[in-house]
Structure 1
Amino acid sequence: MKYKIRSVAEYLSLIEQKGLTNYIFRGQNEPYWGIQASGFRPYMGSWSTDRFYDLDQMTTDFYNKVTRHLTEEEKRHFLAYSQHHGLPTNLVDFSYSPLIALFFACYGKSSPKFSLEELVNKNAYEAIEDLKNNKSTQGMLIHNIINLLQKDYYSQYSQIYLILKEKLIDATEIMVEYNNKNIFDLIENNSNVQVWLCNELEKKLFKNPDLVTEWLTNIITVYEENKISVIEGVHQLPPLSDEKHKNDLKKYKIKIKSQKSKNNSIKELFIYLKDKIYDESITHADMYHMESYQIEYAKVESLAAKIYLALIINMIQVIKNSHLKVWFKLDVYFSYNPPEIFDRISNQKGIFINQPYVYEIDDMYNYGNLIYQYIEPDITIEVDEYNKILAELNYLGVNSGSVYNDLDNVARAVKYTHDQNLYNYKVKVEKFD
């Protein structure tokens, strides 16, 4: 779902009319490559740019350098502390405040900037001389400008992304307890985390039973779209050519969508996964130990949560065993709600989404493969007239000073207000003349 706004009033009216109060908000001044944590941005997925930060080591190095300055609360929530101070992490900033998101969508938005070297593949001095006399270089310059401006990386609009709060699973305590270890690694290997996540999934399904069909069909669709199926044994490659297993999952999806056979089909799928996945860290875990009569009388929401979790773990292992490029899409996101250990969290009404990931290096080709959970907004709002909106937000007291609350940004906010006054005065004089 997509909307477009051109003023603060239009934005607030849209939120009121559409009832967009049960969402968290993220503002981006460019679409970039979607919603992506800062720690993943160096990775471009090609042979020459297939590496990305060692996030754990970088965080450890930072911790060792600043630990003597930290409070106990800052140590407990060191990932938030790192994000606050600009260290790349796998956290994505969101806000409970629609106005804060609107500010971030507009702040820093400007026309795309390219270096001359980037456009003509020569250093600046050579390029200038070449452009004076060489029509071929002049044509290359125009062609490259057009090509860059057409990329999805740039847009004439800013973006605000909305995620339903109902999709969030609060992983704050898990992150603190396990020292901010990658959540996908914990889900794959830690039985306590598996039980925790299964319980959280059950809570959401019991609260809204209609999600059972949606979630199960969605995750089977992810398997289909990525052309993967269930691993039979953790050390085997996924049977990519095994159409039988793919058709089995598709068969269950069709049956689950049928209200007449839904409950029985979910029980059959649970049994199928117990038989097909022989890795004891998945379906041999305690939560899957159920006799036939227990499965028969089990609540369908409970079985659906177990199925969903088993398919998540299986997909993580598929990626690690095969180095496949997979769109890892789930119906839930892992939120992180640290205490207000610095003013910015409070000022920005901040909440983080933890973007878990799998990063594997192919031993044969030494090629890195990064897969992170895809964050798909439920609603996108495109923002036009961003300079006008920044002025309106400043009038409402939302500016770099109030958002960041450090002396440098307070100075910028004061200067911005005076720049606006100068601009308005100039416009009045020009009209008078």
Structure 2
Amino acid sequence: MFTEHTQKRINDSVYCTTLQVPLDYTDPNSEPLSLQLIKMNATNTPPKGSVLLNPGGPGASGIDFIADYGHEYREALGGKFDVVSFDPRWKTGRFISTPFVARDMLRVVDALKEDGLLRYWGLSYGATLGQTFAAISQNARTYYLGYSTFTTRNADDAVTEILRQCIKVGPKKCALADYAGSDTTPEKLSSALANALQDLLDEGTAKSLDNYLKIKELLFWDLYKPSLLLRAIKKIAFALNGDWKGFRKEFMKTPVKPGVNQNTLLGIACGDSSFRAGSPEELYAVIKMQARESMFADVTETQAWWCSHWKFEAAERYEGDFSNITTSFPIMFVNGPLDPVTPLSGAFETSIAFKGSRVLVQNGFGHGAMNHSSKCTRQAIQAYFEEGTLPKIGDVCEPDQLAYEYALSLETRQKHEAR
């Protein structure tokens, strides 16, 4: 059932089952669909209930997510809740949209036979799923922890912050800190990187374009976790030195395996969207708008390009307003100012739509609340799920360690363990 990599990571018992749900919620006589479920039990007994997690994507496997990382999220919940997730609807064509998955979640809550309360933690796209659930199921009893919506508007700031921390630790720990001697600044390094990328485009060869796209794509994924910052710095150094042969040798030895099934991602993303570019001119307008968001837009925000050729229309699409929504219990959003795909501004914009909701700012690096460890954030999450305590307006949690220092300490630990 699990990949070899996942089997090696499982360090606790997990329990798997299937749940029969309607393939088509718009058809009372729909044939059934077998939804795959996974659970990792709380360490404290009896558990206070189950927290349903969605890893995002859209279309990421909840089964693999719990098997890989369930113990970390269970610990973040104080060990007092079972953690549960499920797999996407996979190859179901027009029946894979977000509203259908939200309705699946209601079926999961019923099947758990607890207190009828949905306790939900949505990561990345999982936040959109949670918001859709809250909008179409306003009478459901819900504790919902989420992030904001997808856009790369903070990704450039994340690169600048990497360079700022590099300079702060000094050239002995980060060679780029001495790139322009004593005059080295994050802004100068960012400008030099932009010039190096532009030089690649100006070359106009197939190889230079491939290098341009690959370094931006691979550098972007490094912005997700503090543990990847040293790798990001190395990529930037190759670019600033114009060493594309070295870059390809170091980072393109094997193809990158996507973490999400592409067809599942497109089935959800395109099915949820009512917009389909019908001409090159319409698509160009979208591309120009995206390019203003971030230097990474041309390698990350390609959904509109793919969706212009997507043939399925979702059986159900949520077309209501995300505004003035009352939930049975206020939503808690957690977001950081340097998240490359779910910006902090998006969390505040989304919070406005849900009455009584609060935003906790985690002043860390990377995507989501868990990649840059913060005891303060973990305590706030536990208090929310255990006691229903919301953060105060303006609350900010600091990470346990500076991102670059964390990356250095992790490298030291890995070298020690390898001896």
TM-score (norm 2): 0.25
Q: Which has the higher helix share?
A: 1
TM-score (norm 1): 0.24
Higher RCO (CA < 8 A, seq sep 6+): 1
